[in-house]
Structure 1
Amino acid sequence: MNGLQDPELLMMGPYNYYITESQVGGGYYRFESPFQPLKATAANGWLIRRSSYNEAPNYYYTKDFKQFKALTNLAPQRNYNWLTAELVNWKMPNGKMGQGILYEPENFDSSKKYPVVFNYYLRLSHRMYEFPYPGLTDANINIPWFVSRGYLVFTPDIQFSVSAETGIVPGQSALDAVGSAAEYLSQRPYVDAKRMAIQGHSFGGQLTAYMATHSNLFAAACEVAGTTDNLMASLLMNGPWGSEVSTKMGQYEIRGGAWSGFGASIWERPDLYIKNSSVLNADKSTTPLLIMHNKKDESVQWRLGVAMYLAMRRNQKPCWMLQYNNGGHGLFTRQDMLDFTNRLEQFFDHYLKGAPAPDWMTHGGTVCNNN
């Protein structure tokens, strides 16, 4: 590209070549890390990394970004029942178009009925051609793990507004997006409309708790480290007891239309904080809820998980809570990740596949001695 000339199209295809740090998001999503193309110092050539949803990252050499010479041939996904990805568009209740990624197993059979798990945060559709790494679940569900076991996973984008201006709280924005996506996917003959679940972490956990207490669309829900009482969260310091570092107050009062901004303080618009607090709607919940929230959470107070658990149990609603002593805002040890992955799979298998409830759901108890 020289001067005022139009840019030249060099390549186009279903691949990912480079993502910036800002596109990566939190460390609790198992996608590839950024790799910036490297220019050779003594030659007109570049080292790049290419991947896609069904192609593990591999390195290539190119001189013109038209022809690529493969330098590696890593393909661990070939050893497993991998996945395919489809970009789905649908119309939401507000008339706007929604967008998300539907992951299906490689051995997909359109004559069968599949359960669906929805996972969300802000915007995830830009990850269409990123390679989702298989592994254990540390916060958000590991997509390849569940898809390879016969689940469909859908990751819809959510469009938020400033609540003080629109009257629409973040939880309702999520329900508008996820709920309409669920209804749209239900029209597909291979989607089991009676066996859909929601799962989210942190802000996604907050949205999960809201939807679990404001909708009867979902057969099960799992929220991890979510805010369940916005009044309490605004007036508490984040972090474990004795090591608090910040508060949610400024985050909630911002008017940027970002993820949890109400655009007003609790004294200016207490109605918005109350409306978005899922603990106050626990008595109306029809969705079995699994909570995972750790005492050492440095971002969202553990008390908010306990509050939701007590609210559900007080109203005789099906609810379970997991706590890991070595965890924080997510899980960090393989032992804890394996334990949570197994329990989450058992929980969803029970409500979405009709499997018997495991002992820990019927009798309580622990698997790891330190939890």
Structure 2
Amino acid sequence: MSRMPLFMFALIALVSHISQADEYQVPSQALQDVVNQNKKVSTRLSANKQWLAVLSPKSHIEIQTLAQTELKLAGLRLSPEQLLPSRIKSQYIRIELIDLTKVSPSKASKKHSIRLAAANIVKVKFSPDSRFISYIGISAQGAHLYVYDIEKQVTQKLNTTRLNASLGFRYQWLHNSQGVVTNIASVNDFSAGSIDKFGPNISNTNAQKAPRRTYQDLLKNAQDDEMFGQLTQSQLTLLRLNGDISLIGQVDINISYQISPSDEYILVKRISAPFSRMVKYYDFAQSVELFDISGKHLKTLAQLESSEFRPSGSDSVRKGPRQIHWRADKPDTLAFVKALDRGDSNAKAQNRDQLLQISAPFKEEATSLLKTPWRINKVQWGENSLAMITEKSSSKKQIRVSFFDSNKPAELKLWYQKSLRDTYADPGRVLAQRAKINGKIHGRLISIEDNTLLHYGLGASPQGYQPFLKSLAINLTSAKKVIPSSETLWESSVNKLETVRYVLSRTPLKLIINRQTSENPAHLVFIDTANKTEQILYQADRELSPYKGMTRQLVTYKRADGIPLSGNLYLPAGYKKEHGPLPVLMWAYPREFKNSKVAGQVNFSPNQYSYISPKGPIPFVANGYAVFDRVAMPIIGIGKEKPNDSFRTQLIDNAAAAIDTLVDMGIADRERIAIGGHSYGAFMVANLLAHSDLFAAGIARSGAYNRSLTPFGFQYEKRNFWEAPSLYQQISPFTHADKIDEPLLIMHGEMDSNSGTYPMQSARLFKAIRGLGGNARLVTFPYESHSYKAKESILHMLWEQEQWLDKHVSHKPSAPDTAVSFH
């Protein structure tokens, strides 16, 4: 054979290899099975508790869907042809109804499938009177609103002109269930090319501080302003089931709306020009308008300035009224919160916030209900004049919840106060449901019977989850300032993980629960505690044969300074210690704490079913790896010390403790351990590779590596770059790229919209490592954002990780690999 054919053969082989590298790849079959499994169902319960709707979600979308025309404006990603979001988080393809009045322990529950008017639907709701179920149907032309009559089994299309869902899929039922309010499109066709505005793009300062985070997809010029206005303007409309239509005001940018419990008024928030080029649309200047239900404008309640001028600090808020809402226990009363410190949490103030109210006909001044020393985070209204208020202090990392009499709000009765991340002290959710007042259906109210409310939660503890349902006696006239402890009504079985999904009846106590075991995935069960009977309502089959027999255990250990740590260890089926150490994939995400005891808490149940997400590390158990997931990475700052002041030291101490534990258990050897993480976890990975030699390789997805590009803070770090330049430099792995001497797989979505994690972050780190002679591979996914959605992208992501781990961890080469490749 001549030398020329040999050369040509080698060249063809090389070209074929390069071509293949630019195509989507698929991983091994076990990993493909994880991607192809069915997603978890969602549920809705009717207000009268007769109907349970089981919603089957759409599987992973195709890359062609993400590749369709998309405009990025003011933090939105829009389909201009459809007037709706181009990236829809949750879509459903099936609704099944279960009649709970016909559930019997002796018979299998029957499901009635609704014939949907569209292949893909969103925003499924029951009407307040439980007679109808509504949803928005998605088509190539746009979105339409449909109502299904449960008794007649007939579907009605409410709108002939499509919706404008550019600002989200929103609609609200009248409380009397006779109609729906929504945004109707005011523009039939849109063409970006028809907007002809060109010129220099100019921005000016105005001597006001605007310390905002770094956001993607903001407005950049006059053409963007024009497109945003055209795409988001809509006609707020009342569509009655009898076919009557009422227009609410004029065409405008309606960002939100609320109907009063009496159905006589509607509160509307509208975006006002000029539009900001520093913040997303929901932080634009807004006007708050009041209309009657016929569409007549009654009053402008407030003009809110852009949040770009909000003071720095986690608890700082924009000036003016906020959390404006209808009291669910009154027919026509608005409540709102107003800052007493001009919204600046850095200013000293005895009280931060004030809760006020104003009632129809809205001609008097608002009256004060109470003042709070911390920022009001949430207000909930209940039956029998009960109200609950949640305060938050980010600087203290604390939250507290209190009750008060909404008719006589003289003082607050404390229920609990805890650290934000303290799961052991979390009492869970308070039961709220639609209530009738004077025969009329109102909004969701905290349910009160015999002066008690119900609350339910996971019941985290050092021994694991112990879910519960408890009753709490409320006596607002007592001289005591603290509410007494609760009484347990129901709790999970010891050998199962059972959590409350719905409370159907208090007396006798009837519940719908989620039940799972280590062997069986979560399923819905109806239980009657008085008769001790139960009936399975829905059960999903999630058996993935490659993972059958996989074991999971909680591993607890201590950091060098005594801080308790933990992680979830997954081992392949049939593995025994005598088989020797396994290659290990660790996966983690750093979290900040101001309390070392809270930092050491565990969140685990031995009865929890191991749902295997394709985006997590567990799929690689099928490839023979030991996976150490949710490895604790607490970053703690006690007293005046800030957590990030010792970020690198604590990070390495956390990782070293985890590795020492696995090695001592005989599970791992130190030469075959990889570390992986997503987002802030990717930031962690790059730091660990730069400042330690603990790991054989790393996987970093969608991270930020140069903190000077996020100069006004990141995560819970509130100091800006100019206040702490040394910190920003030391904490940035880009600054120390010359020290990253282990192989690093870097992945990023090319259209990442998350604050701070620009795709450029990964590109610059890769170029730094390449320029310094290090070992890295950069993979970017077209059309993907912060979390990857397309099936092709997820499969290829798994393939990349599989190849990387096999090359650098499972079969660790004897000589260092210095090749650097770009994909």
TM-score, reference length from structure 1: 0.76
Equivalent AA in structure 1 for residue 728 of structure 2: Y
Shift in CA distance, 343/111, structure 1 to aligned 2, threshold 3 Å: same
| Counterpart position of 1:221 | 698
| Counterpart position of 1:160 | 635
Shift of 1:75: 4.5
| Counterpart position of 1:114 | 582
The structure in which a higher percent of residues are helix is: 1
Q: Is the 8 A contact 1:93 1:180 kept in 2?
A: yes
2:529 equivalent to 1:61: no
Q: Is the 8 A contact 1:169 1:276 kept in 2?
A: no
Instruction: Write the deviation string for residues 341-366 of structure 1: whole angstroms up to 9, x where unpaired.
Output: 1111110011121189xxxx968575
| Counterpart position of 2:784 | 327
Instruction: Write the deviation string for residues 152-206 of structure 1: whole angstroms up to 9, x where unpaired.
Output: 1112122123596366344443322122111121112232321101110011111
Which of 618, 624, 627 is the matching residue for 1:150? 624
Which of 476, 494, 501 is the matching residue for 1:13? 494
CA distance in 2 between counterparts of 1:109 and 1:100 reads 19
Shift of 1:122: 4.5
* 1:49-198 → structure 2 map (5 Å cutoff): 49-64=514-529, 69-71=535-537, 74-77=540-543, 79-82=545-548, 83-112=550-579, 113-122=581-590, 125-128=602-605, 129-137=607-615, 141-143=616-618, 145-154=619-628, 155-162=630-637, 165=642, 168-198=645-675
- Name the structure, 1 or 2, with higher relative contact order (CA <8 Å, separation 6+): 1
Instruction: Write the deviation string for residues 232-282 of structure 1: whole angstroms up to 9, x where unpaired.
Output: 222xxxxxxxxxxxxxx2x43xxxxxxx33442211211111111001111
- More divergent stretch after superposition (70-79 vs 171-180): 70-79
Shift of 1:12: 4.0
Shift of 1:93: 2.0
Q: Is the 8 A contact 1:326 1:332 kept in 2?
A: no
| Counterpart position of 1:207 | 684
RMSD value over aligned CA atoms?
3.0
* 1:265-344 → structure 2 map (5 Å cutoff): 265-299=720-754, 300-344=757-801
Q: Is the 8 A contact 2:554 2:604 kept in 1?
A: no
| Counterpart position of 2:803 | 346
Equivalent AA in structure 1 for residue 696 of structure 2: A
Instruction: Write the deviation string for residues 219-244 of structure 1: whole angstroms up to 9, x where unpaired.
Output: 1100001111111222xxxxxxxxxx
Q: Is the 8 A contact 2:686 2:740 kept in 1?
A: no
CA distance in 1 between counterparts of 2:789 and 2:648 reads 28
Q: Is the 8 A contact 2:621 2:627 kept in 1?
A: yes
Q: Secondary structure at the match of 1:160?
A: strand
The structure in which a higher percent of residues are strand is: 2
Q: Is the 8 A contact 1:115 1:191 kept in 2?
A: yes
> Percent identity over the alignment?
21
Q: Secondary structure at the match of 1:316?
A: coil
CA distance in 1 between counterparts of 2:820 and 2:727 reads 38
Q: Secondary structure at the match of 2:633?
A: coil
Q: Is the 8 A contact 1:212 1:287 kept in 2?
A: yes
Q: How many residues are treated as equivalent by the alignment? A: 320
- More divergent stretch after superposition (206-215 vs 123-132): 123-132
Instruction: Write the deviation string for residues 100-124 of structure 1: whole angstroms up to 9, x where unpaired.
Output: 2111223222222211111112579
- More divergent stretch after superposition (39-48 vs 306-315): 39-48
Which of 504, 509, 518 is the matching residue for 1:39? 504
CA distance in 1 between counterparts of 2:610 and 2:492 reads 23
Q: Secondary structure at the match of 2:523?
A: strand
Instruction: Write the deviation string for residues 267-326 of structure 1: whole angstroms up to 9, x where unpaired.
Output: 121111111100111111221100001221001111111111011111111100000112
Shift in CA distance, 14/290, structure 1 to aligned 2, threshold 3 Å: farther
CA distance in 1 between counterparts of 2:744 and 2:544 reads 35
Shift of 1:2: 7.4
Q: Secondary structure at the match of 2:681?
A: helix
Instruction: Write the deviation string for residues 46-72 of structure 1: whole angstroms up to 9, x where unpaired.
Output: 221112444211222222297755455
Shift in CA distance, 42/183, structure 1 to aligned 2, threshold 3 Å: closer
TM-score, reference length from structure 2: 0.36
CA distance in 1 between counterparts of 2:722 and 2:492 reads 54
Instruction: Write the deviation string for residues 14-43 of structure 1: whole angstroms up to 9, x where unpaired.
Output: 54333xxxxxxxxxxxxxxxx823526997
CA distance in 2 between counterparts of 1:142 and 1:67 reads 39
| Counterpart position of 2:278 | none
Shift in CA distance, 76/211, structure 1 to aligned 2, threshold 3 Å: same
Equivalent AA in structure 1 for residue 498 of structure 2: Y
Which has more radius of gyration? 2
Q: Is the 8 A contact 1:87 1:102 kept in 2?
A: yes
